[in-house]
Structures are given as C-alpha cells and as structure tokens.
Amino acid sequence: MALKQISSNRCFGGLQKVFEHDSVELKCKMRFAVYLPPQAESGKCPALYWLSGLTCTEQNFISKSGFQQAASEHGLVVIAPDTSPRGCNIKGEDDSWDFGTGAGFYVNATEDPWKTNYRMYSYVTEELPQLINANFPVDPQRMSIFGHSMGGHGALICALKNPGKYKSVSAFAPICNPVLCPWGKKAFSGYLGPDQSKWKAYDATSLVTSYSGSQIDILIDQGKDDEFLSNGQLLPDNFIAACTEKKIPVVFRLQEGYDHSYYFIATFITDHIRHHAKYLNA
C-alpha cells in the first residue's frame, strides 16, 4: 500500500509525520499522523494509537496535546488517524457536526448509504495497524490504544471487543454508554439502523457486562466542569458500575475545574503516556 508523506517535523528528537493513503476499508483517501521517537531509528518500538473526538482530523491531537515529549522519553510510536472517511459524496455527510464527516464513531456501518465507506472500526483495528506494521519500525505484539470523547468511546470498544490485542487502554472524557445518550442515539440509528440490540456491540458499558477476556487495566480522566458530562452525553457512572460488577479494574479520576477541551488533555497526557508505557515497555 503506497504511502504519500504530507509533512515531517523534528520534535523532541523524533519526527512528527503525516501520511496519506488510499484506504481499502473506507474507499477514500485517508490521512494519519505518526510520531517516531528517537528510539525508532535503532529498533522496533511499541505502537500507541490515539482516536480523536467529534469534528477532529489527525491534526488536533498532534498540534494541541503536547504528547510528543513523553512519547519521545518512553520510546513510543504514536499513531493518530482521522475520525471518518472524507469526500465520499454521500448525501447528508456534511449536514451536521455530530454525524457523517468528522463523526465516524468507530463503528462499521450496516445501513445505506453509509455502509460502503463508514467502516472506521475495521480501519482502526485492522487496516491501519497492518499498514503501520508494514511501513514503520513497530513491534506488532506491543500495541495500546487511547482517545478522547468519541475517540475515548472508540478506544474502549476496540480494547473490549479484542481481548489481548491491546496491552492497555485509557480515555479522556469518553462517551461511555452511547446507546443511552443523544450523540450515540443519533449516530447509531443512522449507521446501524433502528434495532437497538445491534447498538450494544459498540457500547463500552454493554461490552463490559459480557467481557470475559484477559485482564485489562483502564484509566479514565474526566473534567468535572465538562458541559457534556453535566448534559448526559458521557455517562461514566454507568461504565464504572459495570466495571465494578465485573471486577474489571478502572482508575477514574474526576479532575476539578477541567472542561472537555485540549487544555484538559494536555494537562494529563503525560500520565496517560506513562500508563501505556508501563505495559508496553514491560
């Protein structure tokens, strides 16, 4: 699969790059960012995947979170894909900010007209890792995942649906129970259809209740002043209750005074990189 380099910038001794490729799953051109730490020049490094939230591209995380310093220190290759297919000329794809373009919700759509292109779940869990493993100095056996908001939802479901695939998982302000929140109901009814029993396959809280895989430690940071927490979009309490019942360890940190923005992410990103490095470099 041919990769076209879009940009490359030296950063904390490593290189922050952006590439474009033709996606088989999504049937369109896709961009992703990859940070190569200095350690990647002399050997294979673990891979850490970041999934962004609504309206984002690959640019938001690499330009706003400041993750590169910690990734350089711990020798992690960090990959950040886009949040949806782009330019597919599907009627309605650009009509709203929380559905369609920039809002793929990390599911494989089953409904027309979305099912041909909107296959972000398979892109993130299969196509992209295969592409990264084939083209960059990463160890395919050492892989973890994290994300923010819609991407936090994505990270949680990818880890829970694939026991053992990811060494660790974490999230910032994830959409924990999308089958019950307005964002999730809108996205799932559009991508997956009216049968709500099918939605549960992409709902972290539902997935926890049936999880029987290998031990996984989950770290979640949530801003206490997050407007989407107070208006019922995120529902972390439901997820924590399900984890407690299943005895799945989750560290949930409610951060006083913080909102839903990248200022919040930048404040705690180093803690998350360390969380993953503990498992990836073990």
Identify the CATH number of the domain in which residue 126 sits. Answer: 3.40.50.1820
Provide the pairing of β-strand 45-51 with 14-23: unpaired
Strands 28-36 and 45-51: unpaired
Domain of residue 40, residue span: 4-281
CA distances for 58 relative to 16, 79, 100, 112, 181, angstroms: 12, 9, 16, 26, 25
pLDDT (tens digit, 0 to 9) for every residue of the chain, 282 residues total? 699 999 999 999 999 999 999 999 999 999 999 999 999 999 999 999 999 999 999 999 999 999 999 999 999 999 999 999 999 999 999 999 999 999 999 999 999 999 999 999 999 999 999 999 999 999 999 999 999 999 999 999 999 999 999 999 999 999 999 999 999 999 999 999 999 999 999 999 999 999 998 889 899 999 999 999 999 999 999 999 999 999 999 999 999 999 999 999 999 999 999 999 999 998
Per DSSP bridges, beta strands 138-148 and 45-51 are parallel
Can you give the pLDDT at residue 135? 98
Query: How many whole angstroms separate alpha carbon 64 and alpha carbon 159?
Result: 25
d(CA 233, CA 229) in angstroms, rounded, equals 6
Burial class (CB in 10 A: 0-12, 13-18, 19+), 38: middle
CA distance 246 to 28: 40
> For the whole model, what pTM was predicted?
0.98
The total domain count for the chain is 1
Q: What are phi and psi of 113, to 5 degrees?
A: -95, 20
State the pLDDT at residue 1.
Answer: 60
Specify burial of residue 195 (Cβ count, 10 A radius: 0-12, 13-18, 19+): exposed
Catalytic site residues? 149, 226, 260
